[in-house]
Homo-oligomer: A and B are copies of this chain.
Amino acid sequence: MNHLEQLRYLILAAQREGNRVLQQELAPLGLTPAQSEALRILGENESLTLTGLGEMLVCESGTNPSRLVDRLVISGLVRRNPGSGDRRQIELSLTESGREMEVRVRAIEAQLYELMAGALPDPSVMDMIRALKTITAGSPSGIALTRRIGSATEVTKP
């Protein structure tokens, strides 16, 4: 098996493992990893539209996350508000319960990152980030992530 093939499968395996761990921790909250990603994004961005959310989701990049939001609405974590202005749009916002859940999600993710920090030395992390950025540059998921990072730094800026 050549090195690049091995790398491809290792990336798949790492993704699966991260998801598996996250899923185990999120299950008691009745959440899936995809739902938690949406919650985090909605926690950081006030009144996104459905398309706006879809453009920041790394999972489900490309299509609109209508059904993902359906389940969050059913769970009482998200509200669909009629768009101000354009009547085709909806504006998404976290409910009170959704905001509480988002805090718990953050704590669970922090646990995962501690686990990763224990397994990976810092410089190795920076190297991987650089390499993976070149791989994903220009791809739908890569663009989604860039948009998301962009919006996150906006929030932390003064």
- Give every chain B residue within 8 A of A116 (Cβ-Cβ): 4, 7-8, 135
Report whether B17 and A135 are in contact in the complex, using a CB–CB cutoff of 8 Å.
yes
**Chain B min CB distance to A55 (Å):** 14
- Give every chain B residue within 8 A of A148 (Cβ-Cβ): 1, 9
**Chain B min CB distance to A144 (Å):** 7
Q: Which 6 A-B pairs have the closest CB atoms?
A: A13-B141, A10-B132, A17-B139, A4-B113, A16-B141, A15-B15
**Does A125 touch B at the CB level, under 8 Å?**
yes
With A116-B135, A120-B131, A120-B134 given, is the CB distance from A126 to B3 under 8 Å? yes
| Number of this chain's copies in the complex | 2
Given A3-B122, A3-B125, A127-B131, 12 other A-B contacts at CB below 8 A? Answer: A1-B152, A3-B126, A5-B113, A9-B148, A12-B58, A13-B58, A13-B141, A13-B142, A16-B58, A17-B139, A20-B139, A119-B134
A interface with B by C-beta (< 8 Å): 1-18, 20, 58-59, 61, 109, 112-113, 116-117, 119-120, 122, 124-136, 139-142, 144-145, 148-149, 152-153
What separation, in Å, do the CA atoms of A74 and B120 have in the docked complex? Answer: 44
Report whether B139 and A13 are in contact in the complex, using a CB–CB cutoff of 8 Å.
yes
